[in-house]
Chain A
Amino acid sequence: MKRVFSHPKSLRNIATHYCAGCGHGIVHRLIAEVVDEMGIRERVIAVAPVGCAVLAYDYWDFDCTEAAHGRALAVATAIKRVRPQNIVFTYQGDGDLAAIGTNETIHAANRGENLSVVFINNAVYGMTGGQMAPTTLLGQKTATTPSGRDAKYEGYPLKISEMLAVLPAVKYIERVSLDSPAEVLKAKRAIRQALQNQVDGIGFSLVEVLSPCPTYWDMTPRQALDWIREVMAKQFPLGRIK
């Protein structure tokens, strides 16, 4: 008998703290599977965010470091420069990467650091109780936009991936979704591409993942997936951006 499916070595076999229907669990696993399939577990160094996934290093089984909120790409830049032989990736939410960390994101991208970035976009700040994120949609009600995001005061959802695509040193950007098994498989392929690019020395690679947050979208897990497909993906179109 041949074993065709098992728990990935790079994912610890413990229960996570994530909400029912959260996308983090899926993406943690995709990363673990890709790392195992590529055989790079012993080379990987991950940089965790501040956000719901702050405890990501409790779930993965490879070298990891914490970073201050927003600073993961500065931390990763340095690790990679000091140890270019390792595979260094960051895992960041929308606040970490596109609010407080925007400066670090733009400049790591502009310098063309040979890094892989997994950007979890769930249009809200989960860990702190559902406040507006840079990527919150217009009209979306959050803890800090109780009447719904108003462009006049809060501006528009930030399309950081499209902004980064302008930079010549950025080599790969793709936006994917978790709203169906087919999309999850595409997400896995994109994550693999981002890591493979690093192995091949190609340059800065980023995967933006539209991820559900049923708790702060005030939806059921199923409704959350539908909302990604029907509403969010209209604002944040899926596919290869660079």
Chain B
Amino acid sequence: MNKKILMTGNEAIAEGAIQAGCRFYAGYPITPQNEITAYMAKRMPQEKGVFIQAESEISAVNMVLGAAAAGARAMTSSSSPGISLKQEGISYLAGCQLPAVIVNIMRGGPGLGNISPSQSDYFQAVKGGGHGDYHSIVLAPSSVQEAFDFMKIAFDLADEYRTPAIILGDGMLGQMMEPLVVHGPRSTVHGKIKPTTNPAAGGSAYGGDYRLSTKKWALTGCKNRKPNIIRSLLLKEGALEELNNELQKKYSNIRTREVRCEAFNLKGADIVLVAYGTTARLARSVCKKSTRYKLGLIRPITLWPFPTRIIEKAAEKAKAVLVIEMSAGQMLEDVKLAVCGKAGVEFLGRTGGGIPTEEEIIDKIRKISVQRRVLRQAQDYSKDGEQGRTTYSV
């Protein structure tokens, strides 16, 4: 049975986790995600789960590691500076092949920064952050509904692939309030997901199974079986390389199977906007309203694995790609790699907690449009060898 309620993004994340079967939460207060810790403090005991306000973000992520090792669906949340503290723990989760969910409600940085929304932790989330060759699955919700829905996706993927999953939100998403449809306990979430863990049917071969009782690798006491060891230390010659090969194979599978992306108005678009999270809401608004320009939007939902192919194909037909981020240009690099020279890639960014406005975006689009036409004008000029008219409409 579905219910419609009004909730902040932070609360939706917490409730979404609970409904996805999360029964362990450890966290530390930090703005702008304190609603998550408060909500969990109240809600977890109701579901006979465990809530701990840890002594630090470092301790919290290590508690999550312990809970995950014991077979529980475990989660922690923080904001940028606190997520920096968790990087070692995330590397350990990846190396030990443990499932867990880490929520980052991004704020302005670097350093102590401010408490306004930002998207400047993309590199940290997507490129590693912690040491070693690993990846976390990264999901970027763009609405309170998605903040809720993506929790189940995150836990399911984390369990299936035995890998950490990061929810990359921002202070705007965390604090804003929108109506939310809360699905009944048995319903499935939108988006394509994965089902089977049966290797024969194409499911994960990594022993991932999100039913608690059947995590064969978990630490439950060695009754009726050989002891289990959770470790990422492999000193014997070649052993760590073997683990790394296994991890890379896992990531390759994830890249093949788990890309999620929204394409809006791409058909015939001259300029393709690429944005995620809160910025994508603004970009979509601009796309919808624009009558002068044909604008499309690609909204990555998984930032890792990145929707490279979709962007590449769109770039083949577009005149320009405009990346909009609340950062100095982080996802921009992955877009450039995907576009691979097939179209010009432009960038509009705000840093330090600044949020782009629709007017800024439209202004940028206008400038891009002018530049592209100027270029074409210049080319015609040199080709014909005669003075072309230099008037153009904007």
Q: Which residues in A have some Cβ–Cβ distance to B below 8 Å?
A: 41-45, 47, 54-55, 57, 60-68, 71, 74-79, 81-83, 85-86, 103-104, 106-107
Contact = CB atoms under 8 A, between A and B. Distances in A.
B229 A75 contact: no
A74 B74 CA distance: 14
Contact of A78 (B50, B232, B233): B50
B310 interface: no
A71 B62 contact: yes
Contacts of A85: 221
Interface stretch (B63-71, B239-247, B328-336): B63-71
B85 to A, nearest CB: 12
A42 B219 CA distance: 11
Nearest to B64: A78
Which of B224, B229, B235 has most A Cβ within 10 Å? B229
B41 interface: no
A60 B222 CA distance: 12
Contact of A45 (B26, B59, B64, B221): B221
B161 to A, nearest CB: 20
Interface stretch (B88-96, B107-115, B262-270): B88-96
Nearest to B51: A81
A61 B227 contact: yes
Contact of A77 (B52, B56, B227): B52
A201 B219 CA distance: 20
Interface of B: 23-24, 26, 50, 52, 54-56, 58-60, 62-67, 69-72, 74, 88-89, 92, 96, 219-224, 227-233, 235
Given A54-B233, A57-B231, A62-B227, A68 B220 contact: no
19 contacts: A45-B220, A55-B233, A60-B227, A62-B227, A63-B221, A66-B92, A66-B96, A68-B62, A71-B59, A74-B62, A75-B62, A77-B66, A78-B24, A78-B26, A79-B219, A81-B24, A103-B55, A104-B55, A107-B59
A42 B67 contact: no
Given A82-B24, A107-B55, A75 B66 contact: yes
B233 A66 contact: yes
Nearest to A81: B50
B56 A78 contact: no
B57 to A, nearest CB: 11
Nearest to A72: B62
A79 B70 contact: yes
Which of B59, B60, B66, B71 has most A Cβ within 10 Å? B66
Contact of A64 (B50, B71, B223, B229): B229
Contact of B59 (A63, A86, A104): A104
B222 A62 contact: yes
Given A63-B222, A71-B62, 8 more contacts: A42-B224, A65-B230, A65-B231, A66-B96, A68-B62, A75-B69, A82-B74, A107-B54
B54 A82 contact: no
Which of A62, A63, A79 has most B Cβ within 10 Å? A63
Contacts of B88: 68
Nearest to A75: B66
Contacts of A76: 66
A101 to B, nearest CB: 10
